[in-house]
Amino acid sequence: MSDAPAKVFPKRIFSGIQPSGGLTLGNYLGALKRFAVAQDEGIETVYCLVDLHAITVWQDPGKLRHATRELAAGFIASGVDPARSILFNQSQVPAHAELAWIFNCVARMGWLRRMTQFKDKAGKHAEEASVGLFAYPNLMAADIMAYHATHVPVGEDQKQHLELTRDIAIKFNHDYGVDFFPVVEPVIEGAATRVMSLRDGTKKMSKSDPSDQSRINLTDDADAIAQKFRKARTDSEPLPETVDGLDGRAEARNLVNIYAALADVTPAQVLAQFGGQGFGTFKPALADLAVAKLTPISAEMKRLMQDVAEIDRVLGVGAERAHAIAEPVLDQTREIVGLIRSRGR
């Protein structure tokens, strides 16, 4: 293997979002909006609603079904076209869980113990956390590797999991003397890779924050969006003229980044327009922009949710297409590992 030239894998994009609770502005700017843009780059795009990841903490079954469909509606309303992308829920394609088991046997305990998301989620109760929550990153690596995906657009918080995915691919290839799994590239780009809480500029905006004021939900109406931005925590200085002037002003930086990402401009361009002005001017402008961009999405989500049978049908078609890619990868993986497959032959 060492003398052979490294294999070149064709570019393929994969990403996933958990159907656990509603979608936030952070999910939209950090993930969904960019998923839709990636479809125009002439590369195959595979997007997954990771329901098996969601159940690493207990979910009410009815709510999980609802959240999965609503997430599918959120993808489609944000511009992900199920004809151009493969859109499906994870549990319909068994390759994910099966490859995750093989990766459970490749990844090392010490690697997983370092994962900050597990430490954050399990907190002081790590002994009571599910084994699934601990092994979560191995399933994420399997999601990506089952498609031989090379590029993974995510928010900043997923960077460590992608580094683990690279380590798993490298160790698998090394242990079995193959050049089979690609080493993925994280794609963490844009002004809003880390949208922060509206109440605390040092914390990420999250659907699990107990305060609803801390986040914009994709299902919020225009009044709620405007009210939340009006009440967003800031300092009392006017906006600076340059991006350097945002240093040490986490809340101001966050609002400028959100504006930039929504308007498809750079933070410097936002400051060229609003520098020197106070939040009394900037917040209403931001609220108007957010309402203009987000309310059509929430309206479309509502419309799509009126026909859940159609959503389920779309996910089923996506799962067939996903399975057609993942199953041959699994077949080769079994062969490499030495697992006999004689059923039906």
Residues marked active site are found at: 121, 204, 207
Q: Is residue 265 part of an annotated ligand binding site?
A: no
**How many whole angstroms separate alpha carbon 170 and alpha carbon 256?**
39
CB distance 233 to 168 below 8 Å: no
Specify the residue, 33 or 102, whose C-beta has the smaller distance to ligand AMP: 33
How would DSSP label each residue in 179-245? --S---EEE--STTSSPBPSS-TTSB--TT-S-GGG--BTT--HHHHHHHHHH----SSPPPSSGGG
32, 98, 141, 288, 339 from 291: Cα distances, Å: 17, 43, 36, 5, 54
CB distance 184 to 147 below 8 Å: no
- Of 78-86, 191-199, 244-252, 297-305, which segment contacts ligand AMP by CB under 6 A? 191-199
Binding mask 276-305 for ligand TRP (x = CB under 6 A): ------------------------------
Binding of residue 152 to ligand TRP (CB under 6 A) = yes
Residue type, 266: T
Specify the residue, 144 or 330, whose C-beta has the smaller distance to ligand AMP: 144
Count of residues near ligand TRP by CB under 6 A: 14
**How many whole angstroms separate alpha carbon 345 and alpha carbon 343?**
6
Binding of residue 71 to ligand AMP (CB under 6 A) = no
3-state class (DSSP) for residue 24: strand
Residue 204 interacting entry, from ligand AMP, ligand TRP, none, C-beta within 5 to 8 Å by type: ligand AMP
224: Cβ contacts below 8 Å, ≥ 6 apart: 217
In the list 13, 15, 138, 251, the residue contacting ligand TRP (rule: CB under 6 A) is 15
Residue type, 186: P
Binding of residue 164 to ligand TRP (CB under 6 A) = no
**How many whole angstroms separate alpha carbon 64 and alpha carbon 198?**
27
3-state class (DSSP) for residue 259: helix
73: Cβ contacts below 8 Å, ≥ 6 apart: 300, 301, 304, 305, 311
Q: Is residue 208 part of an annotated ligand binding site?
A: yes
Specify the residue, 155 or 240, whose C-beta has the smaller distance to ligand AMP: 155
Q: Is residue 44 part of an annotated ligand binding site?
A: no
Binding of residue 158 to ligand AMP (CB under 6 A) = yes
At which residue do the structure tokens 């498809």 appear?
Answer: 264
Binding of residue 39 to ligand TRP (CB under 6 A) = no
- Of 121-129, 153-161, 200-208, 326-334, which segment contacts ligand TRP by CB under 6 A? 153-161
Binding of residue 140 to ligand TRP (CB under 6 A) = yes
In the list 12, 16, 26, 291, the residue contacting ligand TRP (rule: CB under 6 A) is 16
Q: Which residues make up each annotated binding site for L-tryptophan?
A: 143
- The binding site consists of 18-20, 26-27, 143, 155-157, 195, 204-208
Which residues fall in the annotated binding site for ATP? 18-20, 26-27, 155-157, 195, 204-208
Contacts with ligand AMP by CB under 6 A lie at 17-18, 26-27, 30-31, 154-155, 157-158, 192-195, 204-205
